Structure 1
Amino acid sequence: MSKSVKTALLANAIIAGAKGLAAFFTGSASMMAEAIHSSADCGNQVLVLVGQKQAARGKSEAHSFGQGKANFFWSFVVAVVLFSLGGLFSIYEGIHKIMHPEEIKNPLLIVGIILLAVVLEGGALKVALQESGTKLKDIFKTIEKSSSSHILVVLIEDAGALLGLFILSIGLILSVFVDPIFDGIAAFIIGILLLSLSTILFIELKKLIIGESLDRDTIKRIKNLIKEESTVLVHINSVRSMFIGSEEVLLIISMNIKDDKLGYEIEQDIKELKNKIQTMLKEHKLHVYIDVFEF
């Protein structure tokens, strides 16, 4: 099971409880929106763990390539939960408080919860960044290119949580020193943020569920390797690929070979090509199939 998911689950469980108590004692709509946000995140991490457990079952008669896509399915459910429970409820709560603003009680309690949440969410995000091998400045690039659905979920949720806390802080300051209506406005904006994050998840997971391929540069690297290393190659007909799990790829290569090569030479060449491709793409678990045709 992913360390980043477990860390995020523990952090969000603590934060959700703290935010819920703070919302009860202060009457803050934006804090309630954040409590719902963290509660939804807890449920999401549980769903991701369910997906990882199912994906780890391996091959069976009914699933020849394993059940790696279970990660994609359960992460897609996460996007639905984030959209409905998180985003829509926060927008509702925000509109309600905008129409009926109330003065926030015990604002210092909210400040304390915000500081606690920043520390815990920041720690969870740091673990996710370390697990994905990326830097904070490259987080959006990682979200766009990663095929690890649990990394997508954790990075998006943790980054979104920190943005939500920033919005909550601004809303608290304005509602205390300017007008209580800003508490409702902050809750509404947090709802919009959650809808935006869930939409990003929808887009990225849809590509994986329907069968996203390796990127163009990677396919070009594979072709170049074959051209440089193969001793039997005449022509590469096609290189097709599809993600069938988190960092798990089905790779099918079709190529024409010289008709004067002996069987053992062809077999040895294919074996070496598979090993070299796997070494080059060591970040992926590959299922490589090479079809050869005499030319």
Structure 2
Amino acid sequence: MAASTSKNVIFAALAGNSAIAITKLAAALFTGSAAMMSEAIHSAVDTGNQIILLIGLKRAARPSTPSHPFGHGLQLYFYTFVVAVLIFGVGAVISIVHGIERIRAPEAIESPWVNYLVLSLAVLFEGASWYVALRAFNRERAGRPFFSTVRSSKDPTVFTILFEDTAALAGLIVALIGVAASQWFGLPVLDGVASVVIGIILALTAGFLAYESQSLLTGEAADPDTREGIAAIARAEPGVVGLNDAKTMHFGPNEILVVLSLDFDDALTAAQVENTVARLEHRIRAAYPQAGRIYVEAQSAASHAAVRTAVLAGGGPGSLVSEVPDGQGGDVPVA
């Protein structure tokens, strides 16, 4: 997904959450509602998170340097992980603690109509932000199953905002129910219960986002279709008699590192091998523009197997399994 689309989604969420956070805080201080205070904390955290994501996008767009030869794209994944930590550490924990305090010492909500008004308006604003994020995500999804798209997505900004907004809408509904129930049944303790439930919703959201972002941060491969497509192009290139190994890794949503170990026809001259590599790189980039860096190693199948055997004997990283199958359909261990 284009960076401009991600920024549009973040700006929409930032505008909505900033206004909502201030309004909720004022209502919480006026009415004394624990659920409303939890919602104010939630919106304030979301506002800060969107600023952090914008910082991550800006830092990730910086060009490569001698100290970061592959660019700074991974920083986006780091800042997404920070967002998940903040949702849990600030939003979830404070909401749960505040709710438990209110359960232990319940207090009647003053002027509950203020909460109803603010929460209803918040649902409208949050719903608009959620809709913007959902449309952007659906364009990326292109008809694929929802959760499998989230798992395979390499752009964490859109699904982070989408899940934040989904959690926010769920929290608003819980807050409305908590305020209404505490007033209807005359049980102020239910307001504290709602605050705890909001905190649990935030904790679950944070856990999911942390799991997804850490996978990207620690070096996630391209999707299976891309990996298989690159391998097929390499095998089909004239002058290549075998694909020993193929590796990919995302350095950002739209940048992939490709590393190939190829067995070339022994009859080729050095110049012909160079021309073959140039053609291969051109074909891969034409089919997969996100393949920003492509490295090709010329290595015979026998040499590759010998290195692989030596690594396996040493118990090193060769015990891992390659991303793409070899010419006979078996998995090739990493050399």
Q: What is the TM-score of this pair, normalised by structure 2?
A: 0.80
- Matched letter for residue 288 of structure 1: I
For 1:144, the equivalent position in structure 2 comes to 151
- From 199, 208, 215, the equivalent of 1:191 is 199
Greater relative contact order (CA < 8 Å, ≥ 6 in sequence): 1
Over the aligned positions, Cα root-mean-square deviation in angstroms equals: 2.2
Question: Retained in 2: the 8 A contact 1:237–1:254?
Answer: yes
For 1:291, the equivalent position in structure 2 comes to 297
For 1:117, the equivalent position in structure 2 comes to 122
- From 8, 13, 17, the equivalent of 1:12 is 17
Q: 1:184 to 1:287 in 2, by over 3 A?
A: same
Which runs of 5 or more residues in structure 2 are unaligned? 302-335
Q: Secondary structure of 1:261's partner?
A: coil
For 1:254, the equivalent position in structure 2 comes to 261
The Cα shift of 1:141 comes to 3.0
CA–CA separation in structure 2 for the residues paired with 1:226 and 1:57: 31
For 2:45, the equivalent position in structure 1 comes to 40
Q: Secondary structure of 2:299's partner?
A: strand
Larger Rg: 2
- From 97, 102, 111, the equivalent of 1:106 is 111
Q: 1:222 to 1:186 in 2, by over 3 A?
A: same
CA–CA separation in structure 1 for the residues paired with 2:80 and 2:11: 15
4+ residue segments displaced more than 6 Å:
none
CA–CA separation in structure 1 for the residues paired with 2:168 and 2:223: 30
- Matched letter for residue 298 of structure 2: V
- Matched letter for residue 245 of structure 1: G
Within 5 A, what are the aligned runs for 1:219-258? 219-227=227-235, 229-258=236-265
- Matched letter for residue 113 of structure 2: L
1:159 aligns with 2:166: yes
Question: Retained in 1: the 8 A contact 2:284–2:291?
Answer: no
Within 5 A, what are the aligned runs for 1:16-35? 16-35=21-40
Question: Retained in 1: the 8 A contact 2:258–2:291?
Answer: no
CA–CA separation in structure 2 for the residues paired with 1:137 and 1:181: 43
Q: 1:67 to 1:12 in 2, by over 3 A?
A: same
For 1:88, the equivalent position in structure 2 comes to 93
Q: Secondary structure of 1:256's partner?
A: strand
For 1:174, the equivalent position in structure 2 comes to 181
For 1:206, the equivalent position in structure 2 comes to 214
Worse-superposed segment, 241-250 or 202-211: 241-250
Q: Deviations over 1:213-252 (max 9, x none)?
A: 123343223222333x411221111111112123322111
Worse-superposed segment, 67-76 or 34-43: 67-76
Question: Retained in 2: the 8 A contact 1:250–1:286?
Answer: yes
CA–CA separation in structure 2 for the residues paired with 1:170 and 1:74: 34
- Matched letter for residue 35 of structure 2: S
Q: Deviations over 1:11-45 (max 9, x none)?
A: 11011011111111221111110110010111111
For 2:283, the equivalent position in structure 1 comes to 276
The Cα shift of 1:192 comes to 0.9
For 2:61, the equivalent position in structure 1 comes to 56
Worse-superposed segment, 43-52 or 254-263: 254-263
Within 5 A, what are the aligned runs for 1:62-77? 62-77=67-82
Question: Retained in 2: the 8 A contact 1:23–1:29?
Answer: yes
The Cα shift of 1:184 comes to 0.8
Q: 1:104 to 1:140 in 2, by over 3 A?
A: farther
Instruction: Tell me the number of residue pairs that the alignment of Structure 1 and Structure 2 aligns.
Output: 293
Q: 1:172 to 1:76 in 2, by over 3 A?
A: same
The Cα shift of 1:286 comes to 3.0
The Cα shift of 1:191 comes to 0.5
The Cα shift of 1:285 comes to 5.2
Question: Retained in 2: the 8 A contact 1:139–1:155?
Answer: no
Question: Retained in 2: the 8 A contact 1:258–1:294?
Answer: no
Q: 1:218 to 1:103 in 2, by over 3 A?
A: same
Which runs of 5 or more residues in structure 1 are unaligned? none
CA–CA separation in structure 2 for the residues paired with 1:143 and 1:218: 17
Question: Retained in 1: the 8 A contact 2:264–2:300?
Answer: yes
- Matched letter for residue 296 of structure 2: I
- Matched letter for residue 182 of structure 1: L
Q: Deviations over 1:162-191 (max 9, x none)?
A: 121122222223222122221111100111
- Matched letter for residue 36 of structure 2: M
